[in-house]
Structure 1
Amino acid sequence: MERTSSPSSGRPGVLRRSPSPARWRRLFRGGALAGTAALLLSGLAVGTAQAADVNNAQNAGFESGLAGWTCTNGTTVGSPTHGGAAALKGSPTASDTGQCAQTVKVKPDSTYTLSAWVQGSYVYLGASGTGTTDVSTWTPGSSGWSQLTTTFKTGASTSSVQVYLHGWYGQAAYLADDVSVFGPDGGGGGGTTPSVPGAPGGLAAGAASATSIPLSWNPVSNATSYNVYRDGTKVQSVTGASATVTGLTAATTYSFQVTAVNAAGESPKSAAVSATTTSGGGNPPGGGGNVPKHAVTGYWQNFDNGAAVQTIAQVPSQYDIIAVSFADATSTPGAVSFTLDSAGLKGYTVDQFKADIRAKQAAGKKVIISVGGQNGTVSVTNSASATNFANSLYSLMQTYGFDGVDIDLENGVNATYMSQALRALSAKAGSSLVITMAPQTIDMQSTSAEYFKTALNIKDILTVVNMQYYNSGSMLGCDGKVYSQGSVDFLTALACIQLEGGLAPSQVGLGVPASTRGAGSGYVSPAIVNNALDCLSKGTGCGSFKPSRTYPDLRGAMTWSTNWDATAGNAWSNAVGPHVHAMP
């Protein structure tokens, strides 16, 4: 959350631990990253493979060391590899991204599919000198092998392009293997036309919920994607060797199969595996006690940054969850504290604050303490700090009467220890504990990202994730296309990633600014917020993106902040609140 009065900043959305989309554009030039937006906003379509198409990359699997590649800080390793006996290891430094590049011969006016298998955090794949639009794609992180794929079209006189892989400044080493520049033979390639992949093996089902079943299988070396079938019907297409099938019925047995796909075709189906959803008891997953089925969350500012100063009592009744901003780090690792800014809040006393919290709770509202914000640097990176985090939060709950906690740590989270801390807090507070999260868009682009992993780790006690759909620039949607913030498509296509990535619809909310002054960018009118809610829950009001199914249990919406809302005459809550509460 934003603590300054600068309208250009708003509620935090600037990625502090890694490059934000805006920073990519500032720092990279020429053959380096131009951003995923350049890739997909170019409108290039994946070309259909022809009989003469080949892999034009030389030494694509690094079996001949770095022959054909030019690297700044690269070497080859014998393990782990994706295929064969070698893989690339790039080692970024504080001043170097660890880039490895190759000049690949291509045919003019032709479409190519560029792909590579990668492992590690912030790994980038791209092509420059295409003669049209240079492209790139990336992954925020993966502990196992995952495939990056994009396409580009060459210009009328282009005979070669530069393809490259790199990590990010100061990040850990990355791995890459089995690079492919698949398309018409440019005359210098070292690959061959791919064959249809074999059927995936090792298909297994994980721990089911009442509405979802996670699946995993063994990767197929020449596959570019996988299709998931439920009872014989295709329900998903994914690039990695795992998927979570959602939207299922409680206490029901399903049969699943998976196929592997590449440019040559689709494999036979894998052996089937059956799994049964839990009974569910008719209640939505997660914690939070009696939080309404459809809820509005608002952040309340414990500081004066130019927005209207409020007491808790003055927060409109349309808000079901009020997140008090913020708890701050102490000198004890992992521990947090909270001090009411009575002076900044025009003499608002602690006793009045506590009384107002009790009155809101008596009216059926939840009041929670938010940890972090843009300037928050709480660090939970080991068991001791996880214990300190849980103990200090529980102490604040007892002191002020808070119903739970909001995690808004924009300096990053460690999924292992944050999950441990929140489970420890849950054990102390019980099933009525409200846990919300406010990650940035980049934190929820992949289930391998630490924020997303944390949410999935605590899914049984998590109330809602209200991702910040602002201050982020263009981002990928669940259909692989890039969408610009400030549109209904940006809200729906990015929410789809969470909805299809394992979170229950009741655990997904849309986080937006209450006014143009509430964020540096990404403001949308309440009408667009309501259209997005309708699109996701009912299939109406959509833009160009329309989800493959509806999510009637979608939790609702969040805003930064109740104070900026009040500054604008409560226009946001007066429009969005009744709409959320009228959802089916």
Structure 2
Amino acid sequence: MHRRSPAPALAGSVRRPHSTARRTWAGALSAVLAASALTLTGLATDAAAADINNAKNPGFESGLANWTCSSGTGSSVATPARSGAAALKATPAGHDNARCSQTVAVKPNSRYTLSAWVQGGLAYLGATGTGTTDVSTWTPDSSGWKQLTTSFTTGANTTSVNVYTHGWYGAAAYFVDDVSVFGPDGGGGGEETVIPVPPTDVAVGGATKSSLDVSWKPVANATGYNVYRDGLKVQSVSGASAVVTGLAADTEYTFQVTATNAAGESGKSTPPVKGRTAKDGPVTGLPKHFVTGYWQNFNNQATVQTLAQVSDNYDIIAVAFADATSTPGAVTFNLNSAQLGGYTDAQFRADIRAKQAAGKKVIISVGGELGTVRVNDAASATAFANSVHALMQSYGFDGVDIDLENGLNATYMTQALRSLSAKVGSSLIIAMAPQTIDMQSTSGEYFKTALNIKDILTVVNTQYYNSGAMLGCDGKVYSQGTVDFLTALTCIQVENGLDPSQVAIGLPSSTRAAGGGYVSPSVVNNALDCLTKLTNCGSFKPARAYPALRGAMTWSINWDATAGNAWSNTVGPHVRSLP
């Protein structure tokens, strides 16, 4: 646990619980979803060529014509519009969930596919009066257009159904565009669906060693897209972008995209667009083995230092910490000049450049024991990626360290880091500093995140302190503060999916730096020898050596300086001597 001030030893890892209000809201929502008997299916595959979109004014180009919204909660707006010049905006208020609906003519005993594109707050899409089973589907809030799709079959006497959208009480406004009730012509004067035109403005970017991002301009009447790599279809998506994975490093690929709907598939986009994956190997400028240290942007009785005063034994300097903003997921950085002896922002920026000129990397750390950054939905993931990228551009940081000790959502943190990687490219350093318990199982959110981004991940520096006793990879219990604890727990990561080059061991730099788990620098070196060469082990010895193990991390550079740099002067040279 990375602390801003000394604290007593902990018996185990403690996480701050979510608020009661959040639990109550989630419980109520779960109950509603269960009662709705939601079904989410793919597009209908048995639609005939003569099928049409039976919805009227499906893109809200004629305002709210043919639509009725509760309590005046809906309006036709020009921005954002997925296609055409308009979309629906509906704003829940108080006890009104902003329900907008239309009665659609249908044929009895017929199958229909209901779809719509939504954005903004939580949004539902459904149909009632089907004569069989009414259906609905939903999505949590989304920062970009997302397609909702479900299907239903009409009853023997059903000639019309009620199609609706709505939001959630007290949630943000939601937007809807391109509603479709696709199936046999019900006689209500719907719109016949035609095969879409090929996508345009196809672009390739966001190169990593094994993936490329492909994007294109949305096609008005498309319900999906197919991505072709070197002439072969490799992916089908609903939105106007895709991440193509499983690629070889430093290899050029050619991409084309087609648009689809129930009427068929368009031709391929032209001309074909090329992209090249990043070169294999470590991030440029990082040694095979390195030492990471946290630099404190605050004074907690440890030695106050400028970046210029940081020992050369540190290869990566993690600036602790970024600050949360009022926008969920977004972060900023505020140099604490008052606690750092008048250290100015201009000096700080100049010191970053000087360290980089000396071959060091400086990254911004997000979290810590008191960190309140939450990335738990699509909007906050986007805000996180955008704000970290802005800090990198402003200060020149080489990357980001994820040190969220009060909860992490693997789905949305993965989304955030992939988005950041697409903006920065292969030079991005991504470090993680999970607590010991977070890396005990691949089912943990931290471990899942690390595996999700394995192709762009630099290093996981697990905090092997403030944790008490834990299980090793051999199923035995080991106590913190021993060489066995370090080696047996590190084994879990490298035997469950992470490459040894992405794993490092994290320790306190002095007895004052953590509540428990300190070991002398010589024990750190013994653990590194055991893991990389199977020498100097304790009672536990790994089944195989991991010579590519990345190195070591410490909390903190300032506490190390307080102890005369004893930790870095011992561990630093040893790390560089590893095979």
Which TM-score band applies after superposition, normalised by the shorter structure? 0.5 to 0.7
Which residue of structure 1 lines up, in the alignment, with residue 373 of structure 2? 410
Matched AA of 1:60: P
The question of whether the paired residues in 1 share the 8 Å contact of 2:414 and 2:449 is answered with no
Given that 2:87 and 2:176 are in contact with CA atoms closer than 8 Å, whether structure 1 keeps it comes out as yes
Distance 1:512 1:122 in 2: 37
| Partner secondary structure for residue 410 of structure 1 | coil
Does 2:485 match 1:505?
A: no
Q: CA deviation at 1:141?
A: 0.4
Corresponding residue SS for 1:424 = helix
Q: Is 1:371 aligned with 2:321? A: yes
> Do residues 464 (structure 1) and 430 (structure 2) align?
yes
What is the DSSP-based 3-state SS (H/G/I as helix, E as strand, rest coil) of the residue aligned with 2:47? coil
Letter paired with 2:412: M
Deviation, structure 1 residue 256: 1.3
Find the aligned partners of 2:177 and 2:413 in 1 and give their Cα distance. Answer: 23
1:93-142 C-alpha deviation (Å, 9 max, x unpaired): 687664434466778998754322234x3352333768477431245202
1:343-362 aligned at under 5 Å gives the runs 350=302
Shift of 1:63: 3.7
Residue by residue over 1:492-536, the C-alpha shift from the partner in whole angstroms, topping out at 9 and shown as x without a partner, is: 98778757xxxx433587999999999xxxxxx999999997786
* CA distance in 2 between partners of 1:514 and 1:114 (Å): 53
The residue aligned with 1:314 is none
Flag the 1:222–1:275 CA change in 2: closer, same or farther, 3 A.
same
Alignment of 1:573-584 (within 5 A): none
The answer to whether the aligner puts 1:164 opposite 2:165 as a matched pair is yes
Q: Is the 8 A contact 1:498 1:508 kept in 2?
A: no
Question: Does the 8 A contact of 2:52 with 2:190 survive in 1?
Answer: yes
Aligned 8 A contact 2:137 2:149 in 1: yes
Displacement of 1:150: 3.1
CA distance in 1, matches of 2:181, 2:433: 35
Q: TM-score, normalised by structure 2?
A: 0.58
Q: What does residue 436 of structure 1 align with? A: 401
Which amino acid in structure 1 is aligned with residue 114 of structure 2?
L
Which residue identity does 2:45 align to in structure 1?
T
Question: Are 2:59 and 1:61 aligned?
Answer: yes
Over 3 Å counting, the alpha-carbon distance change for 1:193 and 1:402 in structure 2 is closer
Local SS of the residue matching 1:203: strand
* CA–CA separation in structure 1 for the residues paired with 2:507 and 2:14: 8
**AA in 2 matched with 1:114:** L
Question: CA separation of 1:437/1:446 partners in 2, compared to 1, >3 Å: closer, same or farther?
Answer: closer
* CA deviation string 1:189-225 (max 9, x = no partner): 6645633322222323347566544332221122222
Matched residue, 2:554: none
1:425 aligned partner: 395
Match of 2:46 in 1: 49
For 1:118, the aligned partner's letter is V
Q: Secondary structure, in 3 states, of the residue corresponding to 1:506? A: coil
2-structure distance, mates of 1:188, 1:6? 70
For normalisation by structure 1, the TM-score amounts to 0.57
Q: 1:257-268 alignment to 2 at 5 Å?
A: 257-268=256-267
Instruction: Identify the residue that residue 178 of structure 1 maps to in structure 2.
Output: 178
Are the aligned partners of 1:556 and 1:580 in contact in 2 as well (CA < 8 Å)?
no
1:238 aligns with 2:237: yes
Q: Give the partner amino acid of 1:25.
A: A
Question: What do the CA deviations read for 1:535-554 (whole angstroms, capped 9, x no partner)?
Answer: 867xxxxxxxxxxxxxx699
When residues 579 and 195 of structure 1 are mapped into structure 2, their CA distance, relative to the original with a 3 A threshold, is: farther
Per-residue CA deviation, residues 236-287 of structure 1 (Å, 9 max, x unaligned), is 222222234344445543221111122333222221324242773x443477
Instruction: Call closer, same or farther: CA 1:95–1:554 in 2, change over 3 Å.
Output: farther
Q: Where does residue 273 of structure 1 map in the other structure?
A: 272
Residue type at the aligned position of 2:254 = S
Greater mean alpha carbon deviation, residues 127-136 or residues 508-517: 508-517
The equivalences for 1:309-388 within 5 A come to 337-340=297-300, 350=302, 368-371=318-321, 377-378=324-325
Counterpart secondary structure, 2:200: coil
Q: 1:166 to 1:351 in 2, by over 3 A?
A: same
| Contact persistence 1:197–1:266 (CA under 8 A) | yes
Q: Kindly state the Cα deviation for residue 322 of structure 1 after the two structures are TM-superposed.
A: 7.0
2:560 is matched with which residue? none
For residue 69 of structure 1, report the CA deviation from its aligned partner.
Answer: 2.7
Identity over aligned pairs, percent: 29
Distance 1:156 1:495 in 2: 49
In the TM superposition, what is the alpha-carbon distance from 1:438 to its structure 2 partner?
5.4
Q: Larger Cα Rg: Structure 1 or Structure 2? A: 2
Q: Structure 1 residues 192 and 456, CA, compared in 2 at 3 Å: closer, same or farther? A: same
Quick one: structure 1 residues 188 and 232, their matched pair in 2 at CA, closer, same or farther if it must change by over 3 Å?
same
Which residue of structure 1 lines up, in the alignment, with residue 223 of structure 2?
224
Q: Give matches, 1:472-487, under 5 Å.
A: none
Q: Check whether the contact 1:466–1:557 (CA below 8 A) recurs between aligned residues.
A: no
Q: CA separation of 1:80/1:278 partners in 2, compared to 1, >3 Å: closer, same or farther?
A: closer
Alpha-carbon distance, 1:182 to partner: 3.6
Match of 1:75 in 2: 75
Secondary structure of 2:235 counterpart: strand
Distance in 1 between the 2:44 and 2:463 partners?
A: 37
**Separation (CA, whole Å) in 1 of partners of 2:260 and 2:198:** 9
Aligned equivalents of 1:70, 1:61: Cα separation in 2 = 15
How far apart are residue 460 of structure 1 and its match? 4.6
Residue pair 1:115, 1:148 contacting (<8 A) in 2 also: yes
Letter of the 1:226 partner, please give it: Y
Give the counterpart letter for 2:366 in structure 1.
Answer: I
In structure 2, the residue corresponding to 1:254 is in which secondary structure? strand
Q: Deviations over 1:461-495 (max 9, x none)?
A: 532265999xxxxxxxxxxxxxxxx9759889877
- The farther-off stretch of 157-166 and 244-253 is 157-166
Alignment of 1:179-218 (within 5 A): 179-183=179-183, 187=186, 191-192=190-191, 194-206=193-205, 208=207, 211-218=210-217
Unaligned runs of 5+ residues in structure 1 are: 294-319, 328-336, 341-348, 428-432, 470-485, 519-524, 538-551, 568-572
CA spacing shift, 1:183–1:177, aligned 2, 3 Å: same
CA distance in 1, matches of 2:175, 2:287: 46
CA separation of 1:497 and 1:54: change in aligned 2, threshold 3 A: farther
The residue aligned with 2:522 is none
Shift in CA distance, 465/403, structure 1 to aligned 2, threshold 3 Å = closer
- Structure 2: how far apart are the matches of 1:197 and 1:161? 27
